[in-house]
Structure 1
Amino acid sequence: MESKKLNRKTLIFLSLIFILALGLRMRVFTKQMNVMNLSYDPKNYWIMSHQIVDDGIYGYAYDIPSGISNARVMPGYPLFLAAVYKILGDKFLQITAVRLLQVILSSLSVLLGFLFVKKAFKKDSAALLTALFMAIYPTYVLSTVMLLTETLALFTMLLYFCLSLFAFESGKKMINLITGVAFGAHLMIRPALLPLFIFPFIFALISKRSFTTRCSVQDDGKVCQSEHSEESSLSAIRQKNRPLVSMFLFQLIGVVLIMAPWWIRNIVTLGAFILTAEGSGNPFLAGTYPYFKDYMLDVAEEIKGNNDLQMAYGIERLIHGFKTEFWLYIKWYTIGKTAHIFNEPYLSRLL
């Protein structure tokens, strides 16, 4: 089933899928609407957003306000929470409003998923299946009521994917600039995609490099491509690549426009250029507790707020664990962690 425009049947199915997605998310929202006991990362983000508004300090810590500035997490999601808190002025009403906004964004992500697959593969059936899976996927449904980056990151990522297709298809400077802005917005929430920014351009460059072989027949056989024709081909390739270079530059400008305030803030406030965030120590340390037994109970207070100390202590725990409980750690880092996570989804434990 291939078509450029949505036919009536596809539109009906897509509408039903959207209603299903919205209904499932609203069901979770209504069940969790009065639950305000946050823990772990949701609680930390929540406290952080209040500190931003009330004290003007951007800093991430555990269970308490950081009291000092840091760059442990990207600013996109904390600023989103802070904006809601600033508008409403109530910490608990903030939770409800954020959950409701995330229900809407997650439902719209289903439509973006459909649009991306439809645009990329020109298949209504594949696009509808994508939308359906996104509508019912438990993680996407449950994450809407959690104060976590998942929902906003998914929305901005899919928005970037969709805009990228339009940008490469049209080559228009403004669309490429907007695409770069969308990518920058996603990086401000989750920076994991940053190394992949160049890949669409590499793919486009490779696909455009079609050398034209010109052949002439001589007495001793077929001779292909004279020096003149080779120069002509290279000139043609350069001409073809000029729009690609322009597209790359405009997308890069869009990314820089969004990321620059974060870089400047880090230089001015922290005295260092920090490209994304510097909070890798905590998840690394957390992973050194097999089956999360005695989770973080042995972590001293001075370590909790320091990324470098957390990374160092995590390495120390890892080495000690393999020395003293080798098979436990082997099992944990091979099949144990996967089995533990998928036995009960992580988000379910937080609800």
Structure 2
Amino acid sequence: MQQQRSLQAFISRPLLVPALLFVLAVGLRLVYVFVTSTQNFLEGDAGRYFTMVEQLLTDQIYGYGSEKSNARVTPGFPLFAYSIYSIFPFTPNVFRWVHILIGAATVFPVYSYVSSVSRPLLGWLAGLFVAVYPPFIYMTNLFLTETLFIFLLTLFFASWQWMMNKPSVWSVILNAAVLSWAILTRPGMLPILMIAVLFLLFTRPARRLLIPYLLTVGVCFLPWTLRNWIILDEFTLLASDSGNALLSGAYPFFQENPDYKEMYSLGMSQTQYGVRVILKGFKEHFLQYLSWFSFGKLYYMFKSMWVSSTLNFPQLYMYGGVLLHYLTLLLSLISVPYLLIKKNFLAFAFTGMLLFQLLFIPTARYGAPFILLMVLLICSAAYTFWINRSRKPNYKLPAGSAS
């Protein structure tokens, strides 16, 4: 009896279990980054980001892949890295530690969101998923946007719940600022802004929050937009390099490569040419392009986990990760439609983001954040379904009635 009371006292402390999950997440990431990983921290895009931040520190020039100023990438991640390296030495290990801590800290907003819409037990399970899922550990050892973006993504939904449950000026400012930072880190989150505005507009008690919400978003975007207008003489709200991902994902099942010679002869940008290829494809090969922009891209995004090599993880651990991956996908097939019917904000936000992402190149890297959102949706759907069933009246036949 005393052991049961001790267990109840242990789990009654709301942040104790998430804190233990945070420690577990830090430990797993430390082992991966400094012991088992053979991943190059500055491979591919990561190296270009690192060079960009170095250039920003030494020459105060914001330019991705160039020694001249440009707006090829949004400023959320580069300026965050710049702020870190303005304080600490400019070495890869510094940011490895930053990623370890941010990646592990994602446990807290995940727990906060899930426990606010269901029960703490489901919040712990979602936090455990964050701690152990291989791609979330793998991305820690890359100088890319993913670790920061996933933290901001989950922080947005946690702060959205707080704002809707306890509306105040500060909750509105926090949520709108987090959303703005997340969009400026990964523009694929832009549809959530539109969905958030619609939810605030059509939810009568929250309608008064809409104006301060939009003002906060405007203030957050203003410095970036003004910088592009004044320095580059162009109106760029997000990034000028998004056409690359659009064009690369325009050809069904990667059977063709972009025809840059034709693009240059037509005097088109990558975005314009990508739109041209897509519209022409739907006109001439409708079924092929329809299958590519639906099931085809979904298959490429979610067919496997985002890890460069399974050899960086113990074999049994990878088997567990694969099981988690496909189980999450399977359960989401039920959870997402169910919560859409229930008019759940997260379900609409997830769907909007996913449909927007289908316009661009499909890779497992871009699918990783959606896996975490699926976990949140599964927890929310399971609790909603259980509550709805438990509230149904249990009619019993009177004694002596025929059955």
1:266 counterpart (228, 233, 243): 228
Query: What does residue 159 of structure 1 align with?
Result: 155
Query: What does residue 137 of structure 1 align with?
Result: 133
Kept after mapping to 1: 8 A contact 2:114/2:123:
yes
2:54 pairs with 1:50: yes
Structure 2, unaligned stretches of length 5 or more? Answer: 1-7, 313-403
2:165 counterpart (141, 166, 169): 169
Distance 1:170 1:151, change over 3 A: same
Percentage identity across paired residues of the two chains: 29
Rounded Cα–Cα distance in structure 1 between residues aligned with 2:171 and 2:279 = 50
Larger radius of gyration: 1
* Deviation, structure 1 residue 340: 5.8
Query: What does residue 82 of structure 1 align with?
Result: 82
RMSD: 3.8
* Deviation, structure 1 residue 138: 1.9
Q: Give the letter for the 2:137 counterpart.
A: V
2:135 pairs with 1:111: no
Rounded Cα–Cα distance in structure 1 between residues aligned with 2:47 and 2:255 = 21
Query: What does residue 308 of structure 2 align with?
Result: 348
Distance 1:290 1:171, change over 3 A: closer
Deviations 1:230-270 (A, max 9, x none): xxxxxxxxxxx5x632x222222222222111011011012
Q: Give the letter for the 1:75 counterpart.
A: P
Rounded Cα–Cα distance in structure 2 between residues aligned with 1:52 and 1:270 = 16
Rounded Cα–Cα distance in structure 1 between residues aligned with 2:290 and 2:202 = 42
2:215 counterpart (225, 228, 253): 253
Kept after mapping to 2: 8 A contact 1:180/1:255:
yes
Rounded Cα–Cα distance in structure 1 between residues aligned with 2:195 and 2:256 = 42
TM-score by length of 2: 0.62
Structure 1, unaligned stretches of length 5 or more? Answer: 1-5, 209-240
Distance 1:200 1:339, change over 3 A: closer
Q: What is the number of residues matched between the two proteins?
A: 299
Rounded Cα–Cα distance in structure 2 between residues aligned with 1:45 and 1:329 = 33
SS at match of 2:106: helix
Distance 1:83 1:14, change over 3 A: closer
Query: What does residue 278 of structure 1 align with?
Result: 240
1:23 counterpart (6, 24, 27): 27
Kept after mapping to 1: 8 A contact 2:106/2:154:
yes
Kept after mapping to 1: 8 A contact 2:41/2:141:
no
SS at match of 1:274: coil
Query: What does residue 11 of structure 2 align with?
Result: 9
